[in-house]
């Protein structure tokens, strides 16, 4: 029987499990989304997310095993994302993984959720993608990494406030668009003029590898709602104006991300850029990153669409730890929170 591992993901609002072969073949990948539970709040509510994980974790694991056509006794290891993320959500997945590892007497492997997003690029590539600059851009993270290999990825820089995906969600709420904000803003932006508004681009003209989207979000708010106490208020919002605001906001976010990726490539001297995370599904970001990398003669590897949003298949990175005998003890704890540059 070939070696198999079960990977579990519960860092935020997706309950996921996958059965993965040693050759990185994905035998099954089950994801239970909670978007409908959080839509009315315009963002993820940690307590609701944790409760939903408790209800869904066992059915999701059972579905992953059933779809793969294997039994628990066929597994060689249990892998689980232990950081970063929401503490309540993380605890559900880690508790399930610990229990299985104990009962089955299997090695337990701790996964760095952010590193796993970048490893999804390796999974889709026919050749080794490292070393590379790594970009993880999602609802919780907008980070750049020095990806020296699959497990050594020092942080180069991150957002000092909102992550890009969080900014998309908040701006979508300002515009009255649906949650999650990424897809709805992309759809609205299709009919808009991206140069209609000159929104701020924090750190764009600085060499610092950092991001900030809070000021951009506020600029959009003032453009839509007006500034408190101002004598002149913005025109009434119509479909054309909404599309222009969405397109201009999207362009401001993408311009900064592409700029910082290019700066990181220059600083490190790498000719490979790996991109993962939910916002990596954005069409404009993919297009502009491709244009920049083509101009620089740099290899661009973006995680497949199905592995951009949170999933357990990217837990294939656990095989890297398995080969190096980097196993976790059963008393391992979660590390919540977001990754921030110092």
- Give the count of beta carbons closer than 10 Å to the beta carbon of residue 113: 27
191 is in an annotated binding site: no
Helix axes of 164-175 and 239-268: crossing angle, nearest 10 degrees = 170
140 is in an annotated binding site: yes
Q: Which of 235, 239, 222, 226 is nearest to 171 (CA)?
A: 222
DSSP string, 64-84: HHHHHT--GGG-SEEEEEEES
205 is in an annotated binding site: no
**Overall size of the chain counted in residues:** 342
Calpha distance 2→270 (Å, rounded) = 36
Strand pairing category for 77-83 and 4-9: parallel
337 is in an annotated binding site: no
282 is in an annotated binding site: yes
182 is in an annotated binding site: yes
Neighbouring-strand partners of residue 81: 111
Q: What are phi and psi of 45, to 5 degrees?
A: -100, 115
113 is in an annotated binding site: yes
What are 292's two structure tokens? 């920049």
229 is in an annotated binding site: no
- Tokens 């000021």, located at residue: 215
Q: In whole angstroms, how far apart are CA 249 and each of 88, 169, 189, 218?
A: 32, 12, 9, 11
What are 96's two structure tokens? 């399930």
Calpha distance 199→158 (Å, rounded) = 20
- Give the count of beta carbons closer than 10 Å to the beta carbon of residue 287: 12
277 is in an annotated binding site: no
Binding residues for Fe cation: 113, 117, 310
Binding residue ranges for substrate:
136-140, 169, 182, 282
Residues annotated in a binding site: 113, 117, 136-140, 169, 182, 282, 310
């Amino acid at each position: 029987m070939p070696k198999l591992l079960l990977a579990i993901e519960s860092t935020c609002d997706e309950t996921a499990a996958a059965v993965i072969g040693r050759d990185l073949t994905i035998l099954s990948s089950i994801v239970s989304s909670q978007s409908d539970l959080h839509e009315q709040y315009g963002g993820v509510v940690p307590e609701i997310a944790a409760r939903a994980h408790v209800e869904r974790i066992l059915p999701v694991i059972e579905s992953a095993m059933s779809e793969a056509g294997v039994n628990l006794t066929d597994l060689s290891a249990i892998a689980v994302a232990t950081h970063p993320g929401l503490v309540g959500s993380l605890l559900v997945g880690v508790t399930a993984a610990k229990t299985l590892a104990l009962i089955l007497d299997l090695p337990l492997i701790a996964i760095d959720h952010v590193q796993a997003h970048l490893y999804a690029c390796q999974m889709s590539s026919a050749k080794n993608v490292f070393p590379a600059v790594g970009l993880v851009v999602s609802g919780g993270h907008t980070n750049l990494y020095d990806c020296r290999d699959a497990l050594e990825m020092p942080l180069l820089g991150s957002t000092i406030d909102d992550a890009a995906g969080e900014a998309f969600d908040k701006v979508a709420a300002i515009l009255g668009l649906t949650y999650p904000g990424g897809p709805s803003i992309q759809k609205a932006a299709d009919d808009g003029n991206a140069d209609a508004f000159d929104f701020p681009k924090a750190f764009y003209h600085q060499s610092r590898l950092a991001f900030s989207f809070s000021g951009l979000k506020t600029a959009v708010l003032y453009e839509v709602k007006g500034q408190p106490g101002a004598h002149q208020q913005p025109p009434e919002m119509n479909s054309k104006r909404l599309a222009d605001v969405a397109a201009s906001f999207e362009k401001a976010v993408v311009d900064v991300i592409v700029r910082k990726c290019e700066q990181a490539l220059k600083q490190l001297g790498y000719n490979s850029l790996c991109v993962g995370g939910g916002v990596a599904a954005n069409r404009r970001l993919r297009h502009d990153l491709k244009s920049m990398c083509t101009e620089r003669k740099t290899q661009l590897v973006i995680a497949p669409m199905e592995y951009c949003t949170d999933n357990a298949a990217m837990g294939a990175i656990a095989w890297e730890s398995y080969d190096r005998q980097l196993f976790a003890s059963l008393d391992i704890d979660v590390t919540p929170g977001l990754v921030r540059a110092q």
